[in-house]
Amino acid sequence: MLRWAGFYQALQQEPSQPHPIPDFHTGAMPMHCFLPVLLSLSLLVTTTNGDEHIYIDDCPGNASYTPGSAFQANLDALLSTLPGAAAASSGFAKNATGAAPDQAYGLAQCRGDVNASACRSCLDASVRDVTRGLCRGQKSAMVIYDACQLRYSNASFFGVSDNKSFTVFQCSAQNATQPEQLMRFVAQVGDLLVNLTGKAAYRSPRMFAAAAVQVTPSVKLYGMVQCTRDLAADDCNRCLSSVVPFMPFDCEGKQSVRMFRRSCSARLEVFPFYNAQVVEAAMSPAPAPEGGPVNCGGRHANRSEAMIKVARCMFSLLLAMVLAI
């Protein structure tokens, strides 16, 4: 079972309803020394019935709809088609139904290595949960599983990178390495995450990247990052790079680290949680038409290298600050 490393929320809550930030760090330099102190979000983390995969329900609760209203009709129509559309389109679909002021916007996405059948099953379950669970009757909601995520709203959010409304970290209680190996572990993990961020943003058509690194002779760490595919490449990079360099420090060498945002996510485990056999294909661009020009990267390749250098500099600075304590 996972425990919270912290909640981070950029939107100010009402003073009459403060939410303290849980702090489970015991080291000399806890993560909140680096990150701004932010308030927590009304959020549920639980498990699916008979399934140990963590998911998150995000129900802002700032607007609700009336049963039988035009918005509900539009939302029902939207959610009835999104899972099938995503499963049939390499794991991603977005759409809008109805007309203002009752229009419903929705996005469905599966993890880059998940096949169509598993994608459809996960999204069907997410529709049931988001409409019958804590988000029932809400005009805006999101649910995230390991294999998929579903989001809808009464306002368009397509193409907008949501980097500030909330960030959730989850850390396991078990250490992945011995204390004397921690700094080497952190450096290797940071390098892995930075490389994956650049690949997901600029070189993967599914905005998904996964790889493994041998951090000690006995420990291999598996990492994955992903953005929602409505984002531009630069927005994906910003969503991940503004938080990914902090992950190794925040969870201090733990075996399991997970980060969730509305527009991107990242995960580290000591076991292979993704399908290694299909990862390379999922990250590879579609082949160019026969006889067509070969695209060797161009502007995106140059930008990717530049962004990776910036992220590495940020990570190196954080590591130097820790070592100086």
Residue 36 lies in a domain: no
Looking at the structure, do residues 247 and 205 belong to the same domain, yes or no? Answer: yes
Residue 44 has pLDDT above 50, yes or no: no
Range with the poorest average pLDDT among 56-65, 100-109, 192-201, 206-215: 56-65
CA 252 to CA 176: how far, in whole Å?
9
Q: What region does 50 belong to: left with phi over 0, alpha with psi -120 to 50, or beta?
A: left
163-190 mean pLDDT: 76
| Residue ranges making up the domain that contains 64 | 41-153
pLDDT at position 179 is 65
172-186 mean pLDDT: 72
Closest of 141, 162, 309, 144 to residue 231, by C-alpha: 162
Residue 13 lies in a domain: no
Residue 2 lies in a domain: no
pLDDT at position 59 is 87
What percent of the chain is predicted at pLDDT more than 70?
Answer: 68
Looking at the structure, do residues 224 and 140 belong to the same domain, yes or no? Answer: no
Give the CATH number of the domain where residue 122 resides: 3.30.430.20
Looking at the structure, do residues 183 and 269 belong to the same domain, yes or no? Answer: yes
Residue 320 lies in a domain: yes
In this prediction, residue 64 has a pLDDT band, given cuts at 50, 70 and 90, of very high
Element housing 148 (H / E):
strand 148-153
Range with the poorest average pLDDT among 51-60, 92-101, 113-122: 51-60
Which structure tokens are listed for 211?
């790889």
Closest of 130, 133, 149 to residue 141, by C-alpha: 130
In this prediction, residue 86 has a pLDDT band, given cuts at 50, 70 and 90, of very high
Looking at the structure, do residues 80 and 181 belong to the same domain, yes or no? Answer: no
Range with the poorest average pLDDT among 129-133, 136-140, 151-155, 192-196: 129-133
Closest of 164, 165, 130 to residue 145, by C-alpha: 130
Looking at the structure, do residues 315 and 211 belong to the same domain, yes or no? Answer: yes
In this prediction, residue 305 has a pLDDT band, given cuts at 50, 70 and 90, of low
Looking at the structure, do residues 215 and 306 belong to the same domain, yes or no? Answer: yes
Range with the poorest average pLDDT among 31-40, 85-94, 164-173, 287-296: 31-40
Q: Is 213 exposed, middle or buried (0-12, 13-18, 19+ CB in 10 A)?
A: middle
Looking at the structure, do residues 174 and 283 belong to the same domain, yes or no? Answer: yes
In this prediction, residue 42 has a pLDDT band, given cuts at 50, 70 and 90, of very low
pLDDT at position 49 is 39
pLDDT at position 190 is 86
What single letter denotes the amino acid at residue 279? V
What single letter denotes the amino acid at residue 199? K
Q: Residue 212: helix, strand or coil by DSSP?
A: strand
Residue 122 has pLDDT above 60, yes or no: yes
pLDDT 10s digits, 203-246 = 999 999 999 999 888 889 899 999 999 999 999 999 999 888 88
| Sequential DSSP letters for 250-314 | HTTTBS-EEEE-SSEEEEEESS--S-HHHHHHHHSPPPPPTTSPP---HHHHHHHHHHHHHHHHH
Half-sphere exposure of 130 (CA within 13 A, CB side): 33
Looking at the structure, do residues 191 and 59 belong to the same domain, yes or no? Answer: no
Looking at the structure, do residues 148 and 179 belong to the same domain, yes or no? Answer: no
pLDDT at position 38 is 31
Q: Residue 98: helix, strand or coil by DSSP?
A: coil
Residue 319 has pLDDT above 50, yes or no: no
Residue 96 has pLDDT above 70, yes or no: yes
256 and 171 in contact (C-beta within 8 Å)?
Answer: yes
Looking at the structure, do residues 205 and 301 belong to the same domain, yes or no? Answer: yes
Range with the poorest average pLDDT among 13-27, 193-207, 229-243: 13-27
Q: What is the CA radius of gyration of the chain?
A: 20
Residue 318 has pLDDT above 70, yes or no: no
Closest of 118, 121, 115, 159 to residue 282, by C-alpha: 115
Looking at the structure, do residues 314 and 177 belong to the same domain, yes or no? Answer: yes
In the sheet that holds 3-8, the strands lie side by side as 3-8, 167-171, 257-260, 264-269, 219-227, 208-216
Range with the poorest average pLDDT among 17-31, 108-122, 151-165, 251-265: 17-31
In this prediction, residue 177 has a pLDDT band, given cuts at 50, 70 and 90, of low
Residue 273 has pLDDT above 90, yes or no: yes
Provide the domain count of the chain: 2
Helix ranges (DSSP H) in the chain? 70-87, 116-132, 182-202, 233-241, 247-250, 276-283, 298-324
Residue 59 lies in a domain: yes
Residue 28 lies in a domain: no
